[in-house]
Structure 1
C-alpha cells in the first residue's frame, strides 16, 4: 500500500462519522433526562414514546442530543415529511409547518389540525425545541422532537462537561405536546 493511500485511510478513520467522539459516555445523558422527566415509564396520556441519543462532533468538542420519538398508527395512506417550527423572527407568533416531501394536501391539513387543537398549540408555543419533524410512511406517523434541554456539551480543551437539564415547566409542555401529537395525528 502506498504512503498516500495509508495516510488517506488513517485520516478517514480519524474523522469517520461512524466513530464515537472521544469522551462520549453512551446512555449517561439519557439517564439524566429520564430523571428530569420523572416518569416510571415513557408514557403520557396514552402516548408511548421512546428516547434516543445522538452525537454531533465538532472540532475539540461534541454534543450529545436526545430525541423523543412517537409512533402513531393512522388510516391515512401516502407519505410525507414535515418540519414544524415557531413563526416570528423575534417573538413567537404561531406554529408553521414546512413540507419537505410527499402528498401536497397533507401539509395544509396538518397545520390546520395543529392550530385547531388548543391543548397542543398551548404546549408547543412555549416549548423550546430545536427540531420537530413529522413523517408519514406505511400508515404510521413518526414524530421526532429534539428539545433544547436534555443534552450535554463536552469540550476537550479546556476540559468540561455540561448537562443542560429540562426545567419543570418545559417538562410539562413537552409531555403535553407529545400527548397532543398523538391525539391530533391519530385522527388525521
Structure 2
C-alpha cells in the first residue's frame, strides 16, 4: 500500500515551479550557433558547417526542488541492418582523475552494437573530445527518429528550489561548449566515413 502511494506521488508530473523553455533561451545565448525554438521544450540548432542537432529540456524532481537539464541529440546515420533495440552508454573511467572513456552495450545485441561500440571506443578524435567533456550522460540510442547520439551536460542546466527560494542557471562555459560541439562533429564524422 505504501509503495503504491509513493508511485502515485512520483508519477510523470512536471514540477510546480518549472517554466518550459526558459533554460533553453538562456542556453541559446551560451551556444553561439543558429538556434530556433520548436515547441516549448526543444531547440533546433545548426552549426556553421551545416551539422544539425536538437536540444531538449528534461526535469528531475527532488525533494522541494528540481533540476532542468538540457540534452543535446544528433541523428547518426547507421546501417539499416543494425539492431533497433539496445543502446551504447559512454562513461568516463578513473576514480579521482579521468583516465579515458569506455563504451558499454546495454540491452539486447546481435553483435552489431558491439562493433559500433568498438568504433566509438577506437576513434581518437571522439575520445579526445569526450575525455575533456563534463557530461552526466552520453549514449547512442534508438528513438522514433532513428539512432541518436545524446549528451546531457552538467552545465546548461537550472537548479530550482522552493525552500529556500532559489533559481540558478548553470552556464555552459566557452571551453565546454567548444568541446561539446567538437564531440558532436567527431561522432558525425565517424559514421559518415
Fold in common (TM above 0.5): yes
Tell me, which stretches of 5 or more residues in structure 2 are unaligned?
Answer: 36-44
CA distance in 1, matches of 2:115, 2:73: 22
Paired residues of 2:102 and 2:121 also in contact (CA < 8 A):
no
After superposition, the C-alpha distances for 1:117-156 in whole angstroms (9 at most, x for unaligned) are 3322221110000001112478942112100000000000
Q: Which residue of 2 aligns with 1:62?
A: 66
Query: Which structure ranks higher in relative contact order (CA pairs < 8 Å, sequence separation ≥ 6)?
Result: 1
Paired residues of 1:86 and 1:92 also in contact (CA < 8 A):
yes
**Which is higher, the Rg of structure 1 or of structure 2?**
1
* TM-score, scaled relative to structure 1: 0.84
Say which SS state the counterpart of residue 51 (structure 1) adopts.
Answer: strand
**Could you tell me which of 19, 27, 31 is aligned with 1:37?**
31
Paired residues of 1:154 and 1:160 also in contact (CA < 8 A):
yes
CA RMSD after TM alignment: 2.4
CA distance in 1, matches of 2:34, 2:172: 17
Q: Does 1:184 align with 2:190?
A: yes
After superposition, the C-alpha distances for 1:162-181 in whole angstroms (9 at most, x for unaligned) are 11101100000000001111
What is the total number of aligned residue pairs between the two structures? 177
Question: Following TM superposition, by how much is the alpha carbon of 1:96 offset from its aligned partner in structure 2, in angstroms?
Answer: 0.4
CA distance in 1, matches of 2:180, 2:163: 33
Paired residues of 2:105 and 2:117 also in contact (CA < 8 A):
no
Q: Which residue of 2 aligns with 1:129?
A: 135
Paired residues of 1:30 and 1:66 also in contact (CA < 8 A):
yes
Q: Which residue of 1 aligns with 2:51?
A: 47
Q: Does 1:106 align with 2:112?
A: yes
CA distance in 2, matches of 1:66, 1:181: 19
Q: Which residue of 2 aligns with 1:91?
A: 97
Question: Following TM superposition, by how much is the alpha carbon of 1:108 offset from its aligned partner in structure 2, in angstroms?
Answer: 4.0
Superposition map of 1:163-182 within 5 A: 163-182=169-188
Paired residues of 1:75 and 1:139 also in contact (CA < 8 A):
no
